[in-house]
Amino acid sequence: MTSEEEMIIQTPDYEDNSYEEEEKEKSEKSDKEIIRFQNLSYTYSSKTTALKGISLSINQGEFVFIVGESGSGKSTLIRTLLGELKPTEGDIIVEGANLKNIGRKEMPYYRRRLGVVFQEFKLLEDRNVYENVEIAQRVIGVKKDKRIENCNEMIKLVGLSDQSKKKVRELSGGEQQRVAIARAMVNKPSILLADEPTGNLDPNNSWEIMGLLQNLNEMGTTVVVVTHNDNLVNSMQKRVITLQTGEIIGDKLGGYIQ
């Protein structure tokens, strides 16, 4: 019992008003820095250095594409940002706090500020669509009524209302990707990281998902999208950061750099 009470105390309140106020605040685009990589390097083993001296700053409310060929270090960058991988060198500063100083105990609370669409989805295969979205809300301790409302809304948004009770492993790649997106967005995180969120989608669906991400961004969420999709990148006219063998070789508005 007591452990449960503590659990509730530790989880931030998830009340509607506080949340809307936050959104209002977020929607004022600002020059306030939200993420900064400082001379970040990551080495998997003595052989593969996936990131080399990355320095990069992302402002609150920005929409950023990260592009680069396979193996250039895009996913590794996301994983270090999530605290899954510890930088071999350098620092990551999120909302003013250095990740180095976030201890084991605080890490879950840090992660709740980020919504992540993983490249490999990372869904709970033996549970249904609803449960997969719901787990994100359970983890942060959202009350049942609110949870049902939020989850159903998000599942509808990604167009899976009819498949809500279907087990994830029975879904197609594209459908699984939508579940992953719904889960990443359901908690309305201040930062959304999406690692190839359209990798398994046909062009139509890809545009739909991009539209979703853009809506979210317009509501104030900082969005970082890793992608291969040149068409999307070129037509959306956002900031594009290009990686090559673990280094930034381009950072400009509008399109691909060769």
Answer yes or no whether residue 212 interacts with another protein by CB under 8 A: no
Which pairing describes strands 222-226 and 191-195: parallel, antiparallel, or unpaired? parallel
Indicate which single residue of 70, 101, 204, 258 sits in contact with ligand ADP (rule: CB under 6 A). 70
Tell me the number of residues near another protein by CB under 8 A. 29
- Between 186 and 224, name the residue whose CB sits nearer to ligand ADP: 224
The angle that helices 144-157 and 129-139 make with each other, rounded to 10 degrees, is: 130
* Min separation Cβ 70 and ligand ADP, Å: 4
Q: Applying CB under 6 A, which of residues 52, 74, 147, 188 lies at the interface with ligand ADP?
A: 74
Residue 71 engages ligand ADP in binding (rule: CB under 6 A): yes
The C-alpha atoms of residue 7 and residue 9 are separated, in whole angstroms, by 5
What is the nearest approach in angstroms of ligand ADP to the Cβ of residue 73?
Answer: 4
Q: How far apart are CA 251 and CA 113, in angstroms?
A: 25
Give me the helix-helix angle, 173-186 and 203-218, nearest 10°. 0
Of positions 52, 62, 76, 225, contacts ligand ADP by CB under 6 A:
76
Q: Which of residues 111-170 bind Mg ion (CB under 5 A)?
A: 119
Chain residues 2-61 in contact with ligand ADP, contact rule CB under 6 A: 44-45, 48, 50
Kindly identify the residues of this chain, within the stretch 110-139, that bind another protein according to CB under 8 A. 111-112, 116, 118, 122-124, 135-136, 138-139
Q: Is 221 in the site for ligand ADP (CB under 6 A)?
A: no
What is the rounded distance in angstroms from the CA atom of residue 98 to the CA atom of residue 100?
5
CB of residue 155 to another protein, shortest distance in Å: 16
Instruction: For the CB of residue 223, give the shortest distance to ligand ADP in the complex, in Å.
Output: 18
Residue 71 interface partner, choices Mg ion, another protein, ligand ADP, none, CB cut-off 5-8 Å depending on type: ligand ADP
Query: Terminal CA-to-CA distance of the chain, rounded, Å?
Result: 59
75 contacts Mg ion (rule: CB under 5 A)? yes
Interface ranges with ligand ADP (CB under 6 A): 44-45, 48, 50, 68, 70-76
